Amino acid sequence: MHRLATSWTWRWVAIAAWLLACAACRPSEADHQAASVVSGHVHGSNEMADAAELAVQSVVNISTTRIQRRVPTQEERLFRRFWGLRGGDHDETQSHSLGSGVIVDDKGIVVTSNHVIDGAQFIHVRLADGRDLTAELVGGDARSDLAVLRLQGDLKGLHALKFADSDKLRLGEVVLAIGSPYGLGQSVSHGIVSAKGRANVHIADYEDFVQTDAAINPGNSGGALVNLRGELVGIATAIASASGGSVGIGFAIPANMVRPLMQNLLEKGRVVRGWLGVGVQDLSAELREAFAVGDRAGVLITDVQRASPADRAGLRRGDVLLRLGPSATGSPLLMRNAIALAAVGSTLLVEVLRDGQVVQLQAVVAEAPEPSRAPLLATPASLPAAGLLVEPISPALRRERDLPANLNGLVITEVEADSAAARAGLQRGDLILEVDRKPVTTPTDLAQTMQAGKLAMLLVWRDGNASFVPLRP
């Protein structure tokens, strides 16, 4: 009996060991998850490689030659004559630069950055297959840093990159940057979309950049930013770097901005921008309170030019612009871009907040005039008021600064250090047009309107633009 019991005991021990071994061999849930991650990684890598191999065929290397002429000085001519050196009436020097471009039409249309080709007499393009071609400039736009080229020569077998809808880009989406960094030919780096709608980078006049951490280096300018479907989502234009190399902050002009600019350059040789004739500014906490905006998204209209589309539509200074066309307006720079990209002659639905009521108007977009470059000049001081010295706008000042005939107010001639005016950001040369929505044309008007300790809303004109400035003297 004891022997039988012992025999069965060992059998049960063996069965238990076998069951434990089977359990150890069975994949756990964690194993399944790990396998899934590895499988997804491999799939993602293949997707990235497919997109890179597709898009790299459309990215070109651009090299330019600039010839600069200079008239020698009298001293240089005498020196050459004395030593018997040769020299003409002009000295010529050549400079070269490298960049990238993207083929967007199989008929030889290439999009690049304007700064890559600006001032170039000769433009050379090397395709991904090694062919060397020349290119002619169709048109360039310095204000958006975009240019269009047309390739010359054998155009067989060109691969055009398809435009994507850049509005559908998502934060964190994987993108590839393809270009010729340091002239090394088609190179690919990858990263993610770090931000969208960057409009305060101060690289160009019109900005709506896609920010990415994909490595962008010198030579990448004008290259492609593509999604994992191999579609063009942007044109690389600049990096933020103290050293000149990539630090993970690069900027690209979004495809939805590139496309209309390109069409303008192809059709007219220049960019025709829309214009309404309004000046706007951000809504600070003080301005939101003063204009009873609440938590609405919008921008404050600070100026409406006489006889402009905005004037004809009934827009007024002090309106809060809530909606422009189909989109809400929460940024002056992005609103400016939206107007600029609107077709001349098209009608935009404009929604504003006026005296607490929402008003809907319609504005017909006109062509934007050339920007004014009027200089800022100061005048002698005359009367102190709330940390300021001001005087009326004189006829001489009006002529000097080419001020509109209907622009009336006071010019700031001095701002006292550490005063409330200085802390509010007022500067010498600014024009004060209104205080608390009332015109001021004499220093007495200003002195009577400003009260110590009371918040005043000044309408200030600077560099051709008006803005509201809260000031508590």
254 phi/psi in degrees, rounded to 5? -65, 150
- Written as six digits, the tokens of 452 are 């110590």
Question: Is 470:435 a contact under the CB 8 Å cutoff?
Answer: no
Residue 62: name the closest of 103, 34, 26 by CA: 103
Residues pairing with 95 in the sheet: 66
* Number of neighbouring beta carbons within 10 Å of residue 163: 16
Residue from 58, 221, 331, 467 carrying the catalytic annotation? 221
221 catalytic? Reply is: yes
Q: CB-based contacts of 339: which residues, under 8 Å, 6+ apart?
A: 273, 274, 275, 276, 324, 348, 365
150 vs 111: CA distance, rounded Å:
9
Which 3 state secondary structure label does DSSP give 118?
Answer: coil
Residue 379: name the closest of 402, 427, 411 by CA: 411
Residue from 97, 100, 113, 115 carrying the catalytic annotation? 115
2 catalytic? Reply is: no
* Number of neighbouring beta carbons within 10 Å of residue 293: 17
On the CB side of 143, how many CA atoms lie within 13 Å of its CA?
Answer: 16
The helix or strand, by DSSP H or E, that contains position 382, with its residue range, turns out to be none
Phi-psi region of 387 (alpha: psi -120 to 50; beta: other; left: phi over 0): left
32 catalytic? Reply is: no
140 vs 99: CA distance, rounded Å:
15
Question: Is 301:316 a contact under the CB 8 Å cutoff?
Answer: yes
Residue from 58, 63, 145, 308 carrying the catalytic annotation? 145
Catalytic residue list: 115, 145, 221
